[in-house]
A and B are shown apart, each in its own frame.
Chain A
Amino acid sequence: MTRSSTDLGQLARIVLLLPATIIVVVGYVLPSLVLLALSFGIIPGKWLLSEATTSHYMRLLGDIYYLRVVGYTLFLGIVVSVLTAILAFPVGYYLARSRSRLTSLYAVLTFTPLAVGMNMVTLGWMIILGKTGFINALLLQTGAINDPLQLLYGWGAVIVAMVHVVFTFMVLPIEAVVRQIDPSLEKAARILGAGPIRTFVEVVLPLSLPGIAAGFLIVFLQVCGAFVLPLLLGGQGFTLMPIAIWEQITVSFDKSFAATLSVALILISIVVMLLQMRIMREKSLV
């Protein structure tokens, strides 16, 4: 295969990659190294005076409480990502395919959760799910229940509000990728006798996997980094990593242990990302 006509020279490659590299190194890699140093007990600015220690890592690994926190965070991340992907796919597909004038309106509707931000989605669901809130008032009025239900402060409230808040993150990449699928492929499959389900499973879904995978990763990482929402809507039974980190900073004043928990969270995220990239690469070989 001759690639000469489209291929870039070595110099051009370097020039094109350079700006992004500078920003990522200065804005991310160096601060992360400071964080990593902190997790080993080395204080920034006093590099030579402080002694490195692995005690914070030992504490994390030796404490069932913090291991459980890691587990809860993974669980929430996976549940929310899967639920959001299932709910968002039809919407993304519709936005990409429809020629209706209404698509702009739908797009606005699906953008609103993201645009309003975590503060307000949290507040909205608090008011809806509260004991004197909308849902309880409705159920009480219709006689479905006699006593108000405790809907807030648990997994249910956190999952519902979290799916809501990250929804747009899933729709956008799905919409973008479906746009690239030639609609005649689907027509061809239907003409050749495939039913709508088979067309979806064998044509549309495999082709839109890159978009779904992109959305999945973004959503998972959003969940791993959220703290306002689980703090205000969650119960006492489960703590998530961002809250544990926040507590170490604001209550225990233990920045080193906060850094250790953060490094653990970063590692989880990297593993999820690598897994996802691997799955995608295998799919693209099929």
Chain B
Amino acid sequence: MSLRYLSIYSAILGIVFVFPLLIVVAVSLDPGDYIRFPVSGYSPRWYIEMWSNQTILLALKNSLIVGVTSSLIGALVAVPAALVIARGGRFMESVVYPFFLSSFTIPWLVYGLALLFFWGAAGLDLSLTTLIVGHTVIAIPYILRVTLAVLRGMPPNLVRAARICGASPWQAFFSVTLPYIRSGLVAGISFAFVVSFTNIPVSLFITTADNITLPIAIFNYMVNNFEPMVAAISVVQVAMIGIILLAARKVGRVERS
């Protein structure tokens, strides 16, 4: 395949996908009370109002905490599981793996409701912890799947060679396996982070005064008011995610010799 054609194709598709978002950026600069297009003018009004809105600031902080914590906990528990599953075995393939993926198959909206009732039945208070647990559960399959896809393509002889050369299982993992799965793992963690950071349905029913997240704040504004502020908050959300993903990409890039 000629990479040049692919580059042009990717660029065109990228532009098509970015276009609606540019419109959202334009709308976010509209000083009017309602979203309209073409915009009535340009001003930073809504960005300024946003920074004096305590709900938005709290939501931003919460989203960062929940996103980072849930995706990293997800990776910490999913990678060891992936190592075991990758060694194969009928039981792993047909029972253990589907079991870990099963949380994948619950609609988020419903999962939020299930969490709410379970938390109530267990007598626990809804908090940031509820959200972190919920988001970790949905993070695990993403990270597990991608990590496993890479692990399965890994020649088993690599680890075997390391062990024969005298490496401990830990050394073999950190010096052979981890570098090999790094790009896949970072992709999985990035997924999980963004999924958490943009998730509405899981959080919807378990939002309290303290644990509101950014997408919920946006959703609440959006269904109640057609104001340019929702566009402004979203622009900030994209910017934050962009920064974090770029950093993740740096970590995940495979060095070429």
Q: A residues within 8 Å of B by Cβ?
A: 5-8, 12-13, 15-17, 19-21, 23-24, 26-32, 34-35, 38, 44-45, 87, 90-91, 93-95, 97-100, 102, 104, 106-121, 123-125, 127-128, 130, 132-134, 164, 167-169, 172-173, 175-177, 179-180, 196, 199-200, 204, 210-211, 214, 217-218, 221, 224-225, 227-228, 241-242, 245-246, 249, 255, 258-259, 262, 265-266, 269-270, 273-274, 277
Question: Contact at B17–A35, with CB atoms within 8 Å?
Answer: no
Q: Are B150 and A180 in contact (CB under 8 A)?
A: yes
The answer to whether B3 and A94 touch across the interface, beta carbons within 8 angstroms, is yes
Interface size class, chain B: 35 or more
B64 CB-CB contact with A under 8 Å: no
- B77 contacts partner chain A, Cβ-Cβ < 8 Å: yes
Asked if B14 and A110 sit within 8 Å, CB to CB, the answer is: yes
Nearest residue, chain B, Cβ from A127: B37
Q: Contact between B163 and A19 (Cβ–Cβ < 8 Å)?
A: no
Q: A115's contact among B104, B134, B194, by CB below 8 Å, is which?
A: B194
A91 in contact with B160 given A8-B84, A270-B105 (CB within 8 Å): no
B contact residues around A175 at 8 Å (CB): 187
Is B83 in the interface zone, CB < 8 Å from A?
yes
B21 at the interface (CB under 8 A from A): yes
Contact assessment for A124 and B201 in the assembled complex, using a CB-CB cutoff below 8 Å: no
- Closest Cβ–Cβ distance, residue A111 to chain B (whole Å): 6
12 contacts between A and B (CB under 8 A): A17-B81, A17-B84, A27-B103, A31-B115, A34-B117, A90-B1, A112-B18, A112-B238, A116-B234, A127-B20, A224-B107, A246-B109
User: What number of A-B contacts does a CB cutoff of 8 Å give?
Assistant: 302
Main secondary structure of the interface of A (DSSP, over half): helix
- Contact (Cβ within 8 A) B10 A125: no
4 shortest interchain CB distances as A-B pairs? A124-B20, A109-B14, A269-B105, A117-B198
How distant is A241 from chain B, measured CB to nearest CB, in Å? 7
Q: Which of A8, A117, A128, A168 is in CB contact (< 8 Å) with B234?
A: A117
B149 CB–A CB distance under 8 Å: yes
- Complex: A180 Cα to B158 Cα, angstroms: 14
Q: In the complex, A90→B191 CA distance in Å?
A: 20
Alpha-carbon separation in the docked complex, A179 to B183 (Å): 9
Given the contacts A31-B111, A114-B194, A119 and B230 also touching, CB distance less than 8 Å? yes
List residues 169-194 of chain B with CB under 8 A from any CB of chain A.
169, 183-184, 187, 190-191, 194
Q: A8-B87, A273-B98 are in contact. Are A249 and B113 (CB under 8 A)?
A: yes
Tell me if B7 and A104 are in contact (CB < 8 A).
no
